[in-house]
Structure 1
């Protein structure tokens, strides 16, 4: 068949050519569980021979009001998000549920600064991962009236799936502080609005923000107060991005100051693993000279030597839960999911 003819193919014409129903062709592409594997394979092979690649999502959306697509709106860039192990776990969890329903997944970034994107009009619903940085984009999505749920952030009027970051941070900090009596340092993540690694100022130690990082810092401070310990602002580092490079810069500064900290509270596993690498280079023994704790529960934390004590927040299950609630229309209440203290060699 010529390419010109192939372009005219649609569900109806293909179904007529194959002498099957429109629903059969549609199910072969979108709902494979509705057909036997043999019939589905036969339909797909015949479609390929005809030059038909499947139903057009935009056309299907216009015809039925549904595209069969769910979008994750990422707070960071696409490049960063797909390389970040925590975001990766969440995307994996969402994808599992979406795939089970025969739907497709679209990744959008709130860092994409176009005035308006046609991709925003396509999804049937949105999962917001992290606080969106593009306010105008968020307002367009809110005005669309499409189902919406957030993960790892809280927005007025939007159902959220989170862990209790304050309680989890307080728990792991208390565990670490019970091991060592020396100085304490915090390697924080996105505590202030700065693109460089730096220590925070005294007036920045406490804040009214409800961001994840602030909740974790408040948990650390509460644990320190309970143990009669001090965490001054000069011992709290701001790391702008959860990358190995930035974490190493902060860790090297923290571990070469005097007095050297004996307790290192890290707001992510990636930060903690980078800090442990720096400690090894400096000849600091873990956990004999320094105890280190992380937060996230990524796979590498368990494989690393010494293995990392951390809070497992099960991001893949958060993704699955958010996706199931979105598809079920369970969008009236917030949900706090359990986290777990994983005690390992580093503390």
Structure 2
């Protein structure tokens, strides 16, 4: 009886081994970089460049390599292995002051991200988006492996950047980080130029609509008791300085010009502030609005039209940014055009070491439209 059980066990074991062999044979081996190079008759370096350094190859050769790789099931170099081997992840993280949803929907932020992505794509790097508001303690996952960081936005506090590795390359955009290069536009002279133009025609009741100027949240009039953010905390102060310089030259007391604050650059947040302002009695309502963004100005324009106010006859207004929407609708917006795409390109080139890591200030253009001719 024992011998029979042994024979049955041997038979089952043999069958299991055979099934395992067949399973092993039926599972294809993962194609490697060397396999693909051999198949296409090129060097392994050429294959690597197709995935990691596309600028090193002609578009036709890269397209052929990527097409054959897809057909043959090659997924590209192993990112973890490459990171361990080179000490680089080829990940660049962009730290946004606002939420991801807001930043993607905002025309200016999306232009900046487009410029960053353009350069990273051309040099085989991955773009990782992070919200500073969600980084209170430590970096999530792959973010801590990033080769460098680009920080962007109206940063209320540098405490938000504490989770970033202190020695990692970092470039700031519209924001200053001590000891690190930054990229700005000429906010003060640009706002001086547009306010000077607006005030060349007499304004009886000019007013300023700021974007996040107060230290504490405030969506409405800025009273004397409000504490303002410093110039190193927000570009709004530089823009305000430009407005003030033009107002003083035009004979207005800047301290007597009323100001309102908007907490977020969206129609929904701007509207309540501007509705209250436009509903003031005619002899109190401003006849000139100097707005610190196109979104604020366009919200004011829409709400003024709903109230039967004529622009520019009853109300003149200016913006800042030069977003497409302000130039496509009528009356066309008078604004300052900043090249946010180029800001993104420059930040990306700097973080990749393609240009010298030093601070830059880009020039802007004054666009004269119909809202303040």
TM-score (norm 2): 0.83
Residue 152 of structure 2, aligned match among 95, 120, 129: 129
Residue 92 of structure 2, aligned match among 70, 77, 80: 70
- Which blocks of at least 5 consecutive residues in structure 1 are unaligned? none
Residue 296 of structure 2, aligned match among 267, 271, 277: 271
Q: Using the alignment, how far apart are the partners of 2:179 and 2:58 within structure 1?
A: 43
Change (3 A) 1:27 1:332: closer
Any conservation in 2 of the 1:185–1:264 contact (CA below 8 Å)? Answer: yes
Any conservation in 2 of the 1:200–1:233 contact (CA below 8 Å)? Answer: no
Residue 269 of structure 2, aligned match among 220, 237, 246: 246
Q: Shift of the alpha carbon at 1:58?
A: 3.2
Q: Which has the larger radius of gyration?
A: 2
Residue deviations 1:31-78, cap 9 Å, x none?
344445565445434433443322233332221122223222111111
Any conservation in 2 of the 1:180–1:262 contact (CA below 8 Å)? Answer: no
The root-mean-square deviation of aligned C-alpha atoms, in Å, is 2.8
Residue 55 of structure 1, aligned match among 67, 74, 77: 77
Any conservation in 2 of the 1:189–1:241 contact (CA below 8 Å)? Answer: yes
Q: Shift of the alpha carbon at 1:16?
A: 6.0
Residue 278 of structure 2, aligned match among 230, 233, 255: 255
1:306 partner SS: coil
Is it true that 1:158 corresponds to 2:158 in the alignment? no
Is it true that 1:101 corresponds to 2:123 in the alignment? yes
Any conservation in 2 of the 1:180–1:263 contact (CA below 8 Å)? Answer: no
- Which blocks of at least 5 consecutive residues in structure 2 are unaligned? 1-22
What is the aligned residue count? 345
Q: Shift of the alpha carbon at 1:343?
A: 0.9
Change (3 A) 1:98 1:121: same
Matches within 5 A, 1:272-291: 272-291=297-316
TM-score (norm 1): 0.88
2:309 partner SS: coil
Change (3 A) 1:58 1:108: farther
Residue deviations 1:247-284, cap 9 Å, x none?
22221111122411110011100110010001101111
Any conservation in 2 of the 1:6–1:51 contact (CA below 8 Å)? Answer: no
For 1:209, the equivalent position in structure 2 comes to 231
Q: Using the alignment, how far apart are the partners of 1:137 and 1:289 within structure 2?
A: 43
Q: Using the alignment, how far apart are the partners of 1:336 and 1:284 within structure 2?
A: 38
